[in-house]
Structure 1
Amino acid sequence: MPELFQWITLLPMQTVAELPEYIRTADKLLSAEERQDIIRYLAEHPKDGDLMEGTGGVRKLRWRRGGQGKSGGVRVIYYFHDDAMPLYLLTLFAKGDRANLSKAERNELAGLTTLLVKAWRGKRA
């Protein structure tokens, strides 16, 4: 007897929030379609970015843009704490504009992650 239905496993997608710095930079560097593609991708794969040392868990995702490949693309800086908390898009930069974040910027991000977690837990309490 043939099966009447097919089982499909759907994984829940992660909620994604864009911070103002990310929005400002994304408006300059990405098309609307590229921006949505990044959001969709990270909603499905929140742990894909490389963990950045000294940031409190911030990740960097290499993303190609406009047919330029990953080497000519952007670096998306985001924070993923866990499945219960939104993934926060923090900022991004074109690879050609800079190689990486400075130690001071990484320290600032570490402080920001602490604030994001405290704020989220405060809302949930």
Structure 2
Amino acid sequence: MDDAPEITVLQLPKFKAEATELIGTDGIEALAVYLIEHPDAGDVIPGSGGVRKLRWAAKGKGKRGGARIIYLYVVIAARVYLIRCYAKNVKTDLTADEKKQLRQIAAHLKGAQ
């Protein structure tokens, strides 16, 4: 019997707007199911406070050229926060300023537990 708490997936408003456009509601639902089963699947972004980046298929594209999902898994709270979603062809890497913003978001979300 597994006593681990069930993981909850929460969408931040910016993510919801971006992801609805890029991967659609079915894609968001599939992503949530995947992250419940594999919450640490993405690579940790260095300098981001523990935020992760995951490749995900966009509408009409595969994972490689598709969407990038930016999320935070807070283990102690059993929560995955979906933060951003963008197309790889729009942005390849995060800037230092964006990483700083992610660190601040991560600190806020971790403190909200």
Q: TM-score, normalised by structure 2?
A: 0.90
Q: Which residue of 2 aligns with 1:39?
A: 32
Q: Which runs of 4+ in 1 moved over 2 A?
A: none
Deviation at 1:85, TM superposition (A): 3.8
Q: Which residue of 2 aligns with 1:53?
A: 46
Out of 94, 106, 115, the position equivalent to 2:87 is: 94
Q: Which residue of 2 aligns with 1:4?
A: none
Q: Which residue of 1 aligns with 2:20?
A: 27
Amino acid at match of 1:93: Y
Structure with more of its chain in strand, by fraction: 2
Q: Percent identity?
A: 37
**Number of aligned residue pairs:** 113
- State the alpha-carbon separation in 2 of the partners of residues 43 and 105 from structure 1: 26
Deviation at 1:75, TM superposition (A): 0.3
- State the alpha-carbon separation in 2 of the partners of residues 47 and 12 from structure 1: 15
- State the alpha-carbon separation in 1 of the partners of residues 94 and 55 from structure 2: 14
Specify the structure having the higher radius of gyration (Cα): 1
Q: Which runs of 5+ in 1 are unaligned?
A: 1-7, 121-125
- The answer to whether structure 1 residue 63 and structure 2 residue 60 are counterparts is no
Deviations 1:37-78 (A, max 9, x none): 111101110000000000000000001223522222100000
Contact 2:51 2:70 in 1 (8 A): yes
Alignment root-mean-square deviation, CA:
1.9
Out of 75, 96, 103, the position equivalent to 2:68 is: 75
Q: Which runs of 5+ in 2 are unaligned?
A: none
Amino acid at match of 1:92: C
Secondary structure, counterpart of 2:20 in structure 1: helix
Q: Which residue of 1 aligns with 2:97?
A: 104
